Amino acid sequence: MNDLSRNYINGQWVDWNGDTLDVHEAGTGEVIARVPSSGREEMEQAIAAADRAFENWSESTLEQRIKVLEQLHAGLKERSGEIAETICREVGMPIKLATAIQAGMPATMTKSYLKLLQDFPFTEQYGNSEVQYAPVGVVGCITPWNYPLHQVILKIVPAIAAGCTIVLKPSEIAPQSAYILAEILDGTDLPKGVFNLVSGLGQTVGDTLIKHPDVRMVSFTGSTRTGNLIAHAAADDFKRIALEMGGKSASVVLPDADLGAAVKGTVNNCLLNSGQTCTALTRLLVPADQHDEACELAAAAVAKMTPGNPLEETTRLGPLASAQQRDRVFDYIRLGIEEGATLVAGGPEAPDGCDQGYFVKATVFGNVKPDSRIAQEEIFGPVLSIIPYSDEAEAIRIANGTEYGLSGAVWSADQDKAKKVASKLRTGQVTVNGGAFNPQAPFGGFGHSGIGREFGKWGLEEFLEVRSLQL
């Protein structure tokens, strides 16, 4: 078991002798690590350290910041195998995918910001005005368990690049990769106090972080419910906020699309990380006369998603990250049956041979009503709802008919037609005919899915204030 009874404050590890929080292995349920259940005092110490460090770091040169990020990138690459296995065990993503995504994406994103910084205009001239982009200040980062290092990197790398100082509260469900990150940063030229890590529960250390007057921005990824609380708390002190929250994304299959390719692409996306992905395409919208065929194709696709130990290379569907999340998904599957949807595949139980750990069968519902709870609420598990529609206008209404707007997809044999429909979806990003993910494009949502953007120059701008000098 990994004993991580310490916090990282002001450039040093601070031992913790109080209560701890258990970290469980998703595939077995066993305790694999313990982290501090820190209190307000520890968080206040970290905020004070970040506040003291801000003046000097905010005036650091671009070359200094780039050097630190280059060192970080090298450390992420060097420890990628350890990162992949750690997150595989905590979250349940199969090791093959965890290596490419959970360990690969943080290094990729760090490298993308290194490239972006070479030409980013921190000052611009507009007429007789010099426009300057200044760091926002101390940033509080609160991150989730589903992509525990990737979501941290999306915050701390642009924050460091902007000249901000940081206090991170990682998820207590999957915190170990944040400790690896702190170890890497401890070996770089980053000055003391620029990066701080405090582990604990949201109602104590998280609450202190979002309400502290010296914290000038809160960057949060997680549930819409928690994002709502953060937005209200930040409003009292006029803090900058960036919120990336839930989704209930629709995959719209137009009548002329290749139905097989569309269903396969949607199922693969929906089941990525066992459905523990905010952008998951969890609603498949198909023409009514293609509904039954789509259900058959979806059932065949999920049958190929081999469940099992996520540490094994052959596993395609791992467990969920916690017992609480597993039970929540089971409840939603039972609800779907009660609501009258057709259970096409799966059900509210673990797959055969997966009695240990937090496994859920890949589940497909057909004949789902657009206003049903399983079509409206984020389940965050391997559950796909297939919804029939009568015409294109109805498909767009259904796609836009939730409180969310994070992602989506459109499939058509006519690329221009697909783009036209995609432009009508009230969502932050749309995949057209399976277009590849682009880490340099903006990422974020409409409505209850969030405020602000991550990735690329848009992600950097979130951490900058704009000042103009009239000359």
Domains with residue ranges and CATH for the chain:
2-246+448-470 (3.40.605.10), 249-403+407-439 (3.40.309.10)
Q: Which of 270, 278, 295, 354 is catalytic?
A: 278
* Contact (Cβ atoms closer than 8 angstroms) between residue 407 and residue 426: no
Helices (H), 315-377: 323-338, 373-376
| Per-residue pLDDT at 1 | 86
Handedness of CA 65, 109, 142, 147 (dihedral sign): negative
Identify whether the C-beta of residue 184 lies closer than 8 Å to the C-beta of residue 79. Answer: yes
CA atoms within 13 A on the CB side of 348: 13
Please name the amino acid found at residue 324. Q
Which member of 244, 378, 454, 462 is catalytic?
244
Q: Is residue 90 annotated as a catalytic residue, yes or no? A: no
CA-closest candidate to residue 62, choices 138, 10, 120, 15: 120
| Digitized pLDDT (tens) for each residue of the chain, 471 residues in all | 899 999 999 999 999 999 999 999 999 999 999 999 999 999 999 999 999 999 999 999 999 999 999 999 999 999 999 999 999 999 999 999 999 999 999 999 999 999 999 999 999 999 999 999 999 999 999 999 999 999 999 999 999 999 999 999 999 999 999 999 999 999 999 999 999 999 999 999 999 999 999 999 999 999 999 999 999 999 999 999 999 999 999 999 999 999 999 999 999 999 999 999 999 999 999 999 999 999 999 999 999 999 999 999 999 999 999 999 999 999 999 999 999 999 999 999 999 999 999 999 999 999 999 999 999 999 999 999 999 999 999 999 999 999 999 999 999 999 999 999 999 999 999 999 999 999 899 999 999 999 999 999 999 999 999 999 999
> Residue holding tokens 């093959």?
96
User: For residues 193 and 56, is the Cβ–Cβ distance under 8 A?
Assistant: no
Is residue 244 annotated as part of the catalytic site, yes or no?
A: yes
